[in-house]
Chain A
Amino acid sequence: MSEFLTVIRPSPRFHLGLKELWDYRELIISLVEREIKVRYKQTLIGVLWVVIQPLATMTIFTLFFGRLAKIPSGELPYPIFALSGVILWSYFASALSGASHSLVEHKPLLSKIYFPRLALPLSAVCVGVVDFGINLILLITLMIGYGVTPHFTLIFAPIFLVLTMLTALSVGLWLAALNAFYRDVRYVIPFLIQLWMFASPVVYPSSIVPERWQWVFALNPMVGLIEGFRWCISGHGALPSLMLFSMGVILILLIGGIAYFRHIERTLADWI
């Protein structure tokens, strides 16, 4: 008889199950691969879409917020300022919405086969990493075009990516679980993402928020991450002091999210 042993019983309340998730890493990688492969099948210009979207957004933001509204962008030219915010934000937005829909979208898998359900939101937030990488190259190219030298701190970019990923995951877990029960959530997600963008320093610098409201502003973890990411690519500006605070918020949301998710995943197949 083999070393494999499965005990099936009503499970204890609190259990993160991260080790099992590690055992299923090949499945998570396969899910990511599959999603990426499927995404641009039967499209005319395929991967070009990855760069068209941020470029178009950047152009519009530059026109309206940079030129017309004259929003300050510190020492960075506004297009670079906007694009750096946009690429991190669009990664975040796609990761969050992917994670939130991941359970409902994979309902057929959930009801027919066992795997740790966390694999779904987790792989959903990983899918956008490739697009982000391509966009980062685009950003660096444009920076050089605008005469902004990339700073050595650029090597920290992956840290900001990972933190953004965790932020998307922490909120995505809650939304994914809620979405499985209440399909209303599906309609809330795009709305939420849009509002959240305007509450984050994507088109404006966080310095325009009054001093005494800074801590409320920093409750939004994306504030520290976007500002931090700008600092890291250009060396301009400073790492926001409230970033540690944001990290704390993420950590609480994440642990809570995993615990809640684990709680509902046990009988998820009966509900969804």
Chain B
Amino acid sequence: MSQTPIIQIVELSKKYRIRPRERYIAARERLNLILTRPWKAFRFSARETFWALRDISFEVEEGEVIGIIGRNGAGKTTLLKLLSRITEPTEGYAILRGRVGSLLEVGTGFHPELTGRENIYFNGVLLGMSKEEVRRKLDEIVEFANVGEFLDMPIKHYSSGMAFRLAFSVAAHLEPEILIVDEVLAVGDIEFQKKCLNKMEEVSRRAGRTVLLVSHQLNQIRQLCTRVVWLEAGRIRMIGPTLEVTAAYEKSITSEDERLSPGQRTSSQKGSFRRWRLIQPSEAPHILSTFGPVSVEFQLEINKPLRGLVHGVALMTLDQRVLWSTYNNFTSLKPGVYHLLYNFEMLPLNTGMYLWRVSLYDEDGLVDVWDGLPYMEVQLPNFQHMYDNWIGPMNLPHRKEVRYEESLYPTTIS
């Protein structure tokens, strides 16, 4: 197709100032500066600024569903904010040819004192629908959200799940030609998430809607997107077909050299987790490829004598869903290096990336919480249903058996 692309992004860049304390500068402080050092008051040296996005250029054809992936702070949200016009770029430009709907949060503008119905109207108009449009779709929205008899009740009486369903439902009935979505599906119950995914898939396929989607859930990206943009440190690291880019991304977050340094997390000086690995099977330290026994080892370094310790461990999906967790108490540990071993009969997980989160608290509070890097990659034969929708985190090897119970159906018919 040699048509004009529906979205054209050309060298889009955004510069921010790094001065967290300046976020709430008191007028007095600024005034002082103006009086004492006027030449300094309005200048920010290059050291104090950084490029959250730098020279982003790509084009999107009508009907494409583009996934945007990358680590936290890579610039994904900044890009969406620029495209939704929440803030302006410092340099470069973007052209969007179509009605834009952007969904950086579900339920923006919901007011707890107002009823479900009133909130639907306000939220709809805020998202860019006309009142008339909301009126036409009201029944559909209410039905999709399944809030029925609560419609005329203030939403402060809703459960959080209900409020979320209502909010998403309004958004799902928006009919823009370009839809910008940020990670909004990360909340809400699983059943409803599925319903939303299906709805989004349905609309984008049927109506040829163009979608830009940020998500940490690579499964979602793989399910929905035709193409993926991988951002790293404000620049495009890779752009291309979904499977290619997600695979490269996964590989990069797995590889050793990309490990976060211990200084970048919230640990106290008292001690910290150093590394983790699989010691059984021992072929690859971070790749699980057996249904047999598994041993996971966490290395913990203690710098001071600690008392009243609680140590927790959790196995999680990358979208922060806990699959399994437990904790142990230690009365005290003296300084030194410890290896904490967890031995499992088997870890029957679905293929993909997983996260070990380990934590240690002493009687005064947090010692360290660490999301084990690299992530654990599972490469096992899949025993599950073939459709994505029916794939869960468990991947249980099993034997099929069919038994026929003769007594119920006497064979006297012949």
Contacts and interface: CB of A to CB of B under 8 A. Distances in A.
A113 B104 contact: yes
Interface centre among A5, A11, A270 (most CB of B within 10 A): A270
B59 to A, nearest CB: 14
A59 B125 CA distance: 43
Contacts of A34: 111, 114, 118, 122
Contacts of B108: 108-109, 112-113
B409 interface: no
B250 to A, nearest CB: 30
Interface residues of A, number: 39
Interface string A98-109: 000000000011
B122 A113 contact: no
Contacts of A270: 16, 87
B318 interface: no
Interface residues of B, number: 51
Interface in B72-102: 81-100, 102
Contact of B111 (A1, A7, A38): A38
Contacts of B12: 8
Interface in A209-261: none
B125 A7 contact: no
Contact of A7 (B94, B98, B126): B94
A19 interface: no
Nearest to B177: A2
Contacts of B181: none
Contact of B95 (A5, A113, A115): A5
B25 interface: yes
Given A27-B125, A108-B108, A266-B88, A38 B114 contact: yes
Contacts of B27: 178, 182, 184-185
A4 B26 CA distance: 41
B87 A4 contact: no
Contacts of A266: 87-88
A191 interface: no
Nearest to B4: A1
B88 A2 contact: no
Interface in A185-207: 185
A9 B92 contact: yes
A26 B131 contact: yes
A183 B96 contact: no
Contacts of A114: 84-86, 102
A144 to B, nearest CB: 37
A141 interface: no
B6 A1 contact: yes
Contacts of B62: 1
Contacts of A182: 25-27, 30
B109 interface: yes
Interface in A86-110: 108-110
Nearest to B108: A112
A157 interface: no
Given A8-B83, A182-B26, A113 B91 contact: no
A270 B98 CA distance: 26
A50 interface: no
B354 interface: no
Nearest to A184: B27
Contacts of B23: 271
Contacts of A2: 97-99, 177
A95 B118 CA distance: 24
Contacts of A5: 95-97
Interface string A32-65: 0110011001100000000000000000000000
B139 interface: no
B28 A4 contact: no
Contact of B99 (A4, A37, A181): A4
A6 B94 CA distance: 8
Give the residue among A108, A112, A183, A271 with the most B Cβ atoms within 10 A. A112
Interface in A105-127: 108-115
A115 B101 CA distance: 11
B86 A4 contact: no
B105 A267 contact: no
B4 A30 contact: no
A129 interface: no
Contact of B114 (A37, A108, A110, A115): A37
B223 interface: no
**Chain A to chain B: the 6 pairs with minimum beta-carbon distance, closest first:** A9-B93, A114-B85, A182-B27, A6-B96, A8-B94, A266-B88
28 contacts: A1-B4, A1-B97, A2-B98, A2-B99, A4-B97, A4-B100, A5-B95, A6-B85, A7-B94, A7-B95, A7-B96, A9-B89, A9-B94, A11-B88, A26-B125, A30-B121, A30-B126, A42-B113, A109-B108, A109-B126, A112-B104, A113-B109, A113-B126, A178-B27, A182-B30, A269-B81, A269-B86, A270-B16
